[in-house]
Amino acid sequence: MVIHICSWFGDIEIMALPNDRARVRWLKLIPHEKKALKQFFKAQGLKVKLDAEGTTEVDLSAVGVCTLLSPLLHSGKQAITAIKFSTGEVEVTDKPVAAVIKDDAAGVDAVVQVQKPARGCPMPSATEMKEVRAAYVVRKFLAAGQLRDFDARRAFVAVGCDTGHTYRITSRWSPDVEQYGALYDVARQAAICASNLDVPPSEESLSLKFSVEHFEQRFLDS
């Protein structure tokens, strides 16, 4: 059985192991998720390095891990739990995982937990709605390799037209932006201060791509 706790850019998976143990796997954590996992591991007496992707095992059942970790991730907000059985049936409830499945989880293939939506305003922001369209447009102008990276990591590589330097361009909505910034010179291993905050994140990435690929030196000197 695997319990999925949905996150912003990846997923947090809790896999049930024999003898009431569990394996926790994480991918592309945003700062809030990293903080929650650090709190959880610290409470278990574990020192775990939270790289971009990793796994570790804990002396708790999968249900026990979810019970302790979920409030940290969701800040105490109510969650919706969906259980998929080996028969193919799916059961959905607003009760916590521990209230609906046992630790042995006989007949359970997977469980997913998502934060319960709130009624009322605000609606999605204009920036969020524009980002959907911007990401659609960006895909039309990326090379095949860039597109694969963009879909996987919300980042891609571009080559400067004047110096031949390789640049990593990262969406400001990607967790990697904290490490690399929006524009990163791979050869110099240095972030370059550049942004376009008046447009959606994907449009900003596209503008940076055009700038380094078509008038790199003029852009860097401006």
Q: Is the pLDDT of residue 102 over 80?
A: no
Q: Backbone phi, then psi, for 5, in 5-degree steps?
A: -110, 110
Strands annotated E in 74-197: 79-85, 90-93, 108-115, 155-159, 166-170, 183-185, 190-192
Q: Please, which pLDDT band fits residue 210 given cuts at 50, 70 and 90?
A: very high
* Side-chain half-sphere CA neighbours of 27 within 13 A: 11
Peptide bond into 122 cis (omega under 30): yes
DSSP character for 192?
E
- Taking only the tens place, the pLDDT of each residue in 103-139 is 556 788 888 877 776 656 665 666 677 888 888 888 8
- Taking only the tens place, the pLDDT of each residue in 82-94 is 888 888 888 888 8
Mean pLDDT of the chain: 86
Report which listed range, 106-120, 159-173, 185-199, is most confident: 159-173
Q: Backbone phi, then psi, for 114, in 5-degree steps?
A: -125, 155
| Cα distance between residue 3 and residue 198, in whole Å | 39
Q: Please, which pLDDT band fits residue 165 given cuts at 50, 70 and 90?
A: very high
**Residue 7 has what pLDDT?**
64
Higher pLDDT residue, 77 or 194? 194
Q: Please, which pLDDT band fits residue 9 given cuts at 50, 70 and 90?
A: low
Q: Please, which pLDDT band fits residue 212 given cuts at 50, 70 and 90?
A: very high
